[in-house]
Every structure is written in structure tokens, then in C-alpha cells.
Chains A and B, each alone.
Chain A
Amino acid sequence: DSGVTQTPKHLITATGQRVTLRCSPRSGDLSVYWYQQSLDQGLQFLIQYYNGEERAKGNILERFSAQQFPDLHSELNLSSLELGDSALYFCASSVRQGSTDTQYFGPGTRLTVL
């Protein structure tokens, strides 16, 4: 158990709908990262937040948005869902070690768009 929690575990919805995925980082971690992993694919970085502020963006679609709240939990909002959005969505949180950041992953949310 990494200490990072994600809810829900599974989500089944229809095309065109909107969903919200939630992530709570490890105690004391200020950074949250979101990744998308499609079937048998690698980890695609979406976005990073640090202490409430957006810090880095990856290949995140305009239909997707995220935020980090004052209690440091984060939410990833996916709207106008398409079949291709079906994937595992992971968040990770990080602890600073010198000039590097070790990321610990949550258990993921499996999104199925029908």
C-alpha cells in the first residue's frame, strides 16, 4: 500500500458524459500527478499540481481538467467522454528528496466508456 488513495475503483459511463476522479496523496506530499494508461500501453503523463497550483502539463486533452484543493486532494474531471477515454487513470504523489522527486502511485481508477 503506497498511502495514495483513489476513488472510485471502477467507473462505467456512457459517451458524452462527465466524470470526476478523486485522489488523496500520501500524508505530507504536496505534489500530485495524473497519468492515463490505456490497455497494454505505457503511462501517459497528463498533469501535475504542487500545493494547489498547476506545475506541469503533458498530453492532456482540452476536455480534461484537474485541480488540487487546499487539503491537497486532487480531482481529475473528464467531460464529453469518448470510447477512447476508456483507460486506467492513476494518480501519484511525491516526496521531495534533494533535487529529485520519488512518485508513489495510487491503485488507479478503471474508467469504461460504453
Chain B
Amino acid sequence: GENVEQHPSTLSVQEGDSAVIKCTYSDSASNYFPWYKQELGKRPQLIIDIRSNVGEKKDQRIAVTLNKTAKHFSLHITETQPEDSAVYFCAASLGGTYKYIFGTGTRLKVLA
């Protein structure tokens, strides 16, 4: 079946450095790619999303890039802060449906 691979599973960075999380999807019909941030015991919160007709999207310190040919998309966080520490999930829409396939998550730790 269709799947989304997410790497790395854990990531530690120093405060102020950048963090990059990468996802690869298998369904060539996927056309929507949201990213969610989940703090411990809390709900996943949408932080940024990108549609297949766009290659890059930026919102302050967060950016997402999409390479449709390679079926890759990535989350970039610049100038990381301790409050960025959380688990980040990527997702890809499943073609022909409104379902998402989620990646397995990346635990980001920003060290002060």
C-alpha cells in the first residue's frame, strides 16, 4: 500500500541552528502535504502545508519544499528555539480520497 517515510526519527539541534526533516511519499496522485507539530499529550497542530502546484512555501521561521518528481518534501525550521521542541509529523493526501497517510514522526529537541 501507499506509505510516507519520514527521517530522521530523532533530531537534536542547538538553539539558533536550523532543523530539516524529510519525507518521501509513494502515491504519485498525492497533491496535498501538511505538517503537524505535536507537543507531549497534546493534539497535532497544523503548522504549514503545501499543495502540489507549489514548490516552496514559507511562514516566518518555517518553510516547506516539495519535489514532485522525486516525491520528496521537507520541513525547514530556522533559528530554532526551545519551544520548537516537539514531535513533527508529515502527511500526504491519498490520491482520489481525502485521507492522509502520516509519516512516523520526528522528535525534535532544541538544546538551550
Contact = CB atoms under 8 A, between A and B. Distances in A.
Interface of A: 2, 31, 33, 42-43, 45, 48, 50, 55-56, 58, 88, 90, 94, 98-108, 110
A42 B4 CA distance: 12
Contacts of A108: 42-43
Nearest to B99: A56
A55 B44 CA distance: 22
Contact of A101 (B36, B43, B93, B105): B93
Interface of B: 31-32, 34, 36, 41-46, 49, 51, 89, 93, 97-105
Given A45-B101, A104-B46, 11 more contacts: A2-B43, A43-B102, A56-B99, A90-B44, A94-B98, A100-B93, A101-B93, A105-B36, A105-B44, A108-B42, A110-B41
The secondary structure that dominates the A interface is strand
A99 B89 CA distance: 22
A101 B42 contact: no
Contacts of A106: 43
A48 B98 CA distance: 9
B43 A90 contact: yes
